[in-house]
């Protein structure tokens, strides 16, 4: 594929707001996970909750979009000079030539949960101030981002569970290649809600301790929330040092609604397709940011895929011990973490992992590793076997 320039990124999660907060936490090995005190949830688990969203106020002209998901989106859009870069892009390309490609898993479903607590006791009617289309509706996130900047290009929301905000890179790249737009905002948001916390608990997938990917005693995920955004631009030439989207690979297991293919066939296909799109060999990759959810089956399946492509040499790790599993926002968050690894010459290790599972064969890193990093593969694998791998790197 023709590489695309990633000219600006922004991020917010339980590690803090802005790229520096996440980079510092990675360097200091400081986790954002804490015992769950979200709403009235009665679960013995850890979550990565973003502080202060209760006090965030949505811009007055977008008041109908007020919900936890869009509040977190607004905080993210205000970080790292992102809004200023979008304004500059509008001047360069025009508002109708910039696309918006968002990903989310549950969107603002918390807003509906809160509305149901206030249903009319006799009629069952939801409160008049509940705005479904602007809050829970899956498209509400892209609608919010588009209106926030006054953009008029194509806008799409992908909801493919945990691969959502990785797959939006592919949607944007195809639309740019087709000439539909010249630049694109990609990324997305997912926020904590009772549906996901109790839902994953009912599946027996929630750990009672901070998650520990690839550990022999791993017992499940820690849920989190976060937002991340990137500005993709089509440029005929790239300057040395610019961050690039080099390749994308997507596949579907077609195996099971919630369990990955046990041999990692779909994941392996996505990784290999991404390398092919980038015109790179496995030995050209310096680091693999794993999906690494910390469940028994997911880690085992991904390990077979990664080992099958890269063997036992390429360093890899999961960063979910820092942020928790951000579900629909995992792809963009971990893509940005991969870019931070390149910019800071730092491979983040794995928090909370003590004893590596001897059945897993990949070169999994527990400790941080300070070495030059030029190209990274970032994996995101969702329910239903929806797989996506990205190749990111600097222009030479």
- φ/ψ of 383, rounded to 5, equals -50, 150
Cβ(170)–Cβ(388) under 8 Å?
A: yes
3-state SS, residue 389: strand
**Radius of gyration of the chain from Cα atoms?**
20
Structure tokens at 12: 């917010």
Set 67, 261, 325, 388: catalytic member: 325
- φ/ψ of 129, rounded to 5, equals -90, 10
Set 193, 291, 316, 388: catalytic member: 291
3-state SS, residue 193: coil
Instruction: Give the count of alpha carbons within 13 A of 16, CB side only.
Output: 12
Q: Cβ-count burial of 173 within 10 angstroms (0-12 exposed, 13-18 middle, 19+ buried)?
A: buried
Q: Measure the CA–CA gap between 268 and 63, rounded to whole angstroms.
A: 44
- The question of whether 325 is a catalytic residue gets the answer yes
Q: Cβ-count burial of 370 within 10 angstroms (0-12 exposed, 13-18 middle, 19+ buried)?
A: exposed
Set 67, 162, 193, 211: catalytic member: 162
Pairing of strands 223-224, 243-252: unpaired
Q: Measure the CA–CA gap between 247 and 255, rounded to whole angstroms.
A: 25
Catalytic residues: 162, 291, 325
């Amino acid at each position: 594929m023709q590489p695309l320039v990633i000219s600006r990124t922004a991020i917010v999660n339980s590690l803090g707001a802005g790229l520096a907060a996440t980079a510092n936490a990675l360097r200091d090995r400081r986790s954002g996970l804490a015992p769950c005190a979200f709403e009235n949830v009665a679960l013995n688990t850890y979550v990565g909750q973003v502080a202060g969203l209760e006090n965030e106020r949505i811009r007055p002209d977008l008041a109908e979009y007020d919900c936890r998901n869009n509040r977190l989106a607004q905080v993210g859009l205000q970080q790292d000079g992102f809004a200023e870069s979008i304004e500059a892009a509008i001047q360069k390309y025009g508002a109708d030539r910039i696309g918006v490609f968002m990903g989310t898993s549950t969107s603002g479903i918390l807003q509906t949960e809160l509305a149901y607590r206030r249903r009319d006791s006799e009629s069952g009617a939801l409160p008049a101030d509940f705005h479904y289309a602007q809050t829970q509706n899956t498209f509400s996130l892209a609608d919010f981002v588009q209106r926030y900047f006054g953009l008029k290009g194509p806008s799409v929301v992908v909801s493919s569970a945990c691969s959502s905000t990785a797959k939006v890179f592919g949607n944007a790249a195809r639309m740019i290649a087709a000439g539909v737009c010249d630049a694109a905002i990609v990324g997305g948001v997912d926020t904590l809600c009772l549906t996901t916390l109790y839902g994953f608990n009912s599946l027996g997938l929630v750990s009672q301790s901070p998650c520990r990917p690839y550990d022999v005693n791993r017992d499940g995920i820690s849920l989190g929330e976060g937002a991340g955004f990137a500005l993709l631009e089509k440029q005929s030439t790239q300057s040395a040092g610019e961050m690039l989207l080099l390749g994308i690979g997507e596949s579907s297991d077609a195996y099971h609604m919630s369990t990955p293919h046990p041999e990692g066939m779909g994941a392996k296909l996505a990784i290999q397709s991404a390398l092919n799109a980038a015109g790179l060999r496995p030995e050209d990759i310096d680091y693999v940011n794993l999906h690494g959810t910390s469940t028994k089956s997911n880690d085992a399946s991904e390990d077979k895929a990664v080992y099958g492509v890269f063997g036992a040499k390429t360093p890899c790790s999961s960063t979910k011990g820092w942020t928790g599993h951000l579900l629909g926002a995992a792809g963009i968050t971990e893509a940005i973490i991969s870019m931070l690894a390149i910019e800071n010459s730092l491979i983040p290790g794995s928090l909370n992992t003590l004893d590596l599972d001897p059945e897993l064969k990949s070169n999994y890193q527990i400790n941080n590793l300070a070495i030059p990093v030029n190209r990274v593969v970032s994996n995101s694998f969702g329910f239903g076997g929806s797989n996506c791998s990205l190749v990111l790197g600097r222009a030479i």
